[in-house]
Structure formats: structure tokens, C-alpha cells
């Protein structure tokens, strides 16, 4: 069965970035490509978290969580106006 993709916010430990990466965004991209060739980043975040948001299958999200330097892979939540 094809697993449906959903949006995740991937939190990364910037201090664990391997030295071979000059820019943290390259490290983010490399981490993403290691679990999904097709996935693209929706946003990269600089101030609020070290990380990015992307679309993954649940399986890819689970695999992402096991990658070095990954703190948390958080499923997207929907907020409501009050």
C-alpha cells in the first residue's frame, strides 16, 4: 500500500552538524535526501527552530528520526482562530 505523505517539522541539533557541511541548509538537504529522493523542503527555519518542514510518508518520518543529528520529527498540527 502506498503510504500517504503528510507534513512534518524536522528539528535538528545544529551542534551535531558534520564538519564537511559549510552551510546548515546543505546538511538539512542531505538529511532529507537520505530518506526521500523526492521530498522537498517547504520551509527552512533559522530563528524559531534549527530545521525545516517537508512532506514525508510515515515510514520516511520514522527513518528520519533515526538519522544522526535529528532531535524530533513533529507532525504538522492545525490551529484554529479564537
Partner 1 sequence: TTRTPSFLGLDQNAAMFPESETASEVIVGVLDTGVWPESPSFDDTGLGPVPSSWKGECEVGTNFTKSHCNRKLIGARYFARGYEATLGPIDETKESRSPRDDDGHGTHTSSTAAGSVVAGANLFGYAAGTARGMAPRARVAVYKVCWLGGCFSSDILAALDKAIDDNVNVLSLSLGGGMSDYYRDSVAIGAFAAMEKGILVSCSAGNAGPSAYSLSNVAPWLTTVGAGTLDRDFPAFVSLGNGKNFSGVSLYRGDSLPGKLLPFVYAGNATNVTNGNLCMTDTLIPEKVKGKIVLCDRGVNPRVQKGSVVKAAGGLGMVLTNTAANGEELVADAHLLPATAVGQTTGEAMKKYLFSDPNPTATILFEGTKVGIEPSPVVAAFSSRGPNSITPEILKPDLIAPGVNILASWSGAVGPTGLAEDSRRVGFNIISGTSMSCPHVSGLAALLKAAHPDWSPAAIRSALMTTAYTAYKNGKLLQDVSTGKPSTPFDHGAGHVDPVSALNPGLVYDLNVDDYLNFLCALNYTSAQINNLARRNFSCDARKTYSVNDLNYPSFAVSLPAKMGTTASSGGGTGSTVVKHARTVTNAGPPGTYKVSVSSSSDSVKISVEPGTLTFSQTNEKKSYTVTFSATPMPPNTNEFGRIEWSDGKYVVGSPVAISWT
- Binding residues for partner 1, per CB under 8 A? 6-7, 9, 11, 13-15, 42-43, 45-50, 53, 55, 71-72, 74, 76-82
Instruction: Please name every residue paired with 46 in a beta bridge, in sequence order, or none if there are none.
Output: none
Cβ neighbours of residue 67 closer than 8 Å, sequence gap 6 or more: 31, 34, 35
Closest approach of Cβ 14 to partner 1, in Å?
7
Q: How far is the CB of 48 from partner 1 (least distance, A)?
A: 4
Least distance in angstroms from the C-beta of 54 to partner 1: 9
Q: How many CB atoms lie within 10 A of CB 77?
A: 7
Amino acid at each position: 500500500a502506498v503510504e500517504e505523505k503528510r507534513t512534518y517539522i524536522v528539528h535538528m541539533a545544529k551542534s551535531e552538524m558534520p564538519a564537511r557541511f559549510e552551510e546548515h541548509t546543505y546538511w538539512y538537504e542531505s538529511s532529507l535526501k537520505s530518506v526521500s529522493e523526492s521530498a522537498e523542503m517547504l520551509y527552512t527555519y533559522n530563528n524559531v527552530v534549527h530545521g525545516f518542514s517537508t512532506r514525508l510518508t510515515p515510514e520516511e518520518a520514522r527513518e528520519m528520526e533515526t538519522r544522526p543529528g535529528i532531535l524530533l520529527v513533529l507532525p504538522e498540527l492545525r490551529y484554529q482562530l479564537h
